[in-house]
């Protein structure tokens, strides 16, 4: 009954809540207060309880967590989840870029600085004959694969060993930055890949709440994110403030004959993913050649402490997907990308005292007082 006013209200509420989720988590620009948001959710919940047959899996009420699992089911990834080689020093980045230049020149995808090779545009910077890269943050969280079929989130899995992961769909559904239904016209199968993490401010709030309840404190945001994703009871995950940042993709299939996947560049693919409602690798930039990569590394490194979440380095990826394909893989890592790690954020300090914290349940936690 499309003109039933209650049905209309249901659709309007869902659209409004989804829009608020997007504003809050994707655009970082909330439009309403938490109280207003909660009121909309309560109204939607009431409508759905009155009409249980109107509940659909993509309703915002369906994020709240399901009955606990006995274990995580294994998932075989449709496309293997790779890891990255590491660069630690500037010289490693120069070697990486040199190696890629050599391979791309030989493949006819890049002109030699002095050469007259006929090459396709877009793959390199005309003036400098440099390889074009997308430089991104290396998010310090946990890699996950989100699978959408017909635009609906059907499965979320951890990376595992890259071939097999674990099914954490119930947990991932509770993340408000993860669309339950893709925005707009989606391919039949779309897998978005990225990192789940906890922002600093959310981590501080969570630890304050843990302390107030006399519960164990988390060591750092990565630990808190890992612990939250590993919950067999998704109702626990639901109250942990996790975010998802997309930086890649797995399987993409569409038999409709439409050719709407921007298969030219990595940057265009990230923009395309953003159009479906993901936060796609914030803070990224385009760089040409090793010197620009190193400038990106320095700039990001200098601002690292001001970022709202932890990163442990930056990642450089060849922008042209054709070039990525030609470069291929070695072992478990692509030849077209590399992680440039920041030095570990560790400091030496003096242990002044060790106290004890007695929790609500009587659990005793040693607390170090550091200079
Ligand atoms: S791309 C084909 N991009 O780093 C390359 N990974 O050592 C696949 N990571 O398991 C990874 N930020 O958890 C990529 N912007 C980023 C990343 C990123 C963090 C993590 C990811 C992966 C590990 C690779």
Residue 122: what pLDDT? 46
Whether residue 281 has its Cβ less than 6 Å from ligand 1:
yes
pLDDT digits (tens, 9 = 90+) for 246-285: 999 999 999 887 877 888 999 999 999 999 999 999 999 9
Residue bearing the CA closest to ligand 1, atom 11 = 83
Tens digit of each residue's pLDDT (9 = 90 or more) over 78-99: 999 999 999 999 999 999 999 9
State what percent of residues in the chain have pLDDT above 70.
94
Does the C-beta of 159 come closer than 6 Å to ligand 1? yes
**pLDDT in 10s for each residue of the chain, 371 residues:** 457 899 999 999 999 999 998 888 887 788 899 899 999 999 999 999 999 999 998 999 998 777 889 999 999 999 999 999 999 999 999 999 999 999 999 998 888 764 444 455 445 545 558 999 999 999 999 999 999 999 999 999 999 999 999 999 999 999 999 999 999 999 999 999 999 999 999 999 999 999 999 999 999 999 999 999 999 999 999 999 999 999 999 999 998 878 778 889 999 999 999 999 999 999 999 999 999 999 999 999 999 999 999 999 999 999 999 999 999 998 889 999 999 999 976 666 778 888 887 777 777 777 787 77
What's the distance, CA 216 to chain centroid?
A: 26
DSSP E strand boundaries for 25-174: 74-76, 85-87, 124-125, 130-139, 142-149, 152-158, 164-166
The per-residue pLDDT for 2 is 55
Enclosing H/E stretch for 301: helix 289-303
Task: Please tell me the distance between residue 69's alpha carbon and the centre of ligand 1 in angstroms.
Answer: 28
Asked if residue 63 lies in contact with residue 173, where contact means CB atoms within 8 angstroms, the answer is yes
Nearest CA to ligand 1 atom 16: 138
Tokens representing residue 121 in the block: 């545009």
d(CA 195, ligand 1 centre) in Å: 8
Alpha helices by DSSP H, 4-89? 5-21, 34-50
By three-state DSSP, how is residue 125 classified? strand
By annotation, the residues acting in catalysis are 138
Report the residue among 139, 249, 285 best suited for mutation to probe ligand 1: largest number of ligand atoms under 8 A from its CB. Answer: 139
> Ligand 1 centre and the CA of 84: distance in Å?
6
């Amino acid at each position: 009954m499309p003109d039933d006013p209650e049905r209309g209200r249901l659709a309007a509420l869902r659209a409004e809540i989804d829009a608020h989720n997007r504003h809050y988590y994707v655009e970082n620009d909330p439009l309403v207060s938490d109280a207003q948001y909660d009121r909309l959710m309560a109204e939607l919940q009431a409508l759905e309880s009155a009409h249980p047959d109107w509940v659909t899996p993509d309703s915002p009420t369906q994020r709240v967590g399901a009955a606990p699992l006995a274990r995580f089911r294994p998932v075989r990834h449709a496309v293997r989840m790779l890891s990255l080689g590491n660069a630690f020093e500037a010289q490693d980045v120069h070697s990486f870029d040199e190696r890629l230049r050599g391979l791309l020149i030989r493949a006819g995808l890049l002109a030699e600085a002095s050469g007259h090779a006929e090459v396709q545009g877009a793959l390199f910077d005309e003036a400098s004959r440099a390889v074009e890269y997308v430089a991104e943050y290396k998010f310090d969280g946990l890699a996950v694969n989100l699978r959408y079929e017909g635009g609906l989130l059907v499965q979320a899995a951890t990376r595992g060993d890259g071939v097999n992961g674990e099914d954490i769909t119930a947990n991932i559904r509770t993340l408000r930055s993860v669309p339950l239904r893709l925005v707009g016209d989606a391919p039949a199968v779309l897998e978005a890949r990225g990192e789940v993490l906890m922002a600093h401010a959310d981590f501080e709030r969570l630890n304050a709440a843990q302390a107030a309840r006399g519960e164990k404190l988390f060591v750092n945001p990565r630990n808190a994110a890992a612990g939250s994703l590993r919950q067999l009871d998704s109702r626990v995950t639901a109250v942990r403030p996790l975010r998802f940042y997309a930086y890649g993709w797995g399987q993409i299939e569409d038999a409709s004959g439409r050719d709407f996947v921007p298969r030219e560049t990595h940057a265009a693919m990230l923009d395309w993913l953003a159009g479906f409602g993901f936060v796609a690798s914030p803070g990224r930039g385009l760089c040409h050649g090793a010197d620009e990569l190193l400038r990106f590394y320095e700039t990001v490194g200098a601002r690292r402490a001001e970022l709202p979440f932890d990163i442990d380095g930056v990642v450089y990826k060849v922008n042209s997907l054709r070039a990525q394909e030609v470069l291929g893989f070695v072992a478990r890592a692509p030849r077209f990308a590399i992680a440039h790690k920041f030095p570990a954020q560790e400091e030496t300090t003096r242990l002044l005292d060790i106290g004890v914290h007695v929790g609500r349940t009587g659990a005793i936690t040693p607390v170090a007082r550091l200079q």
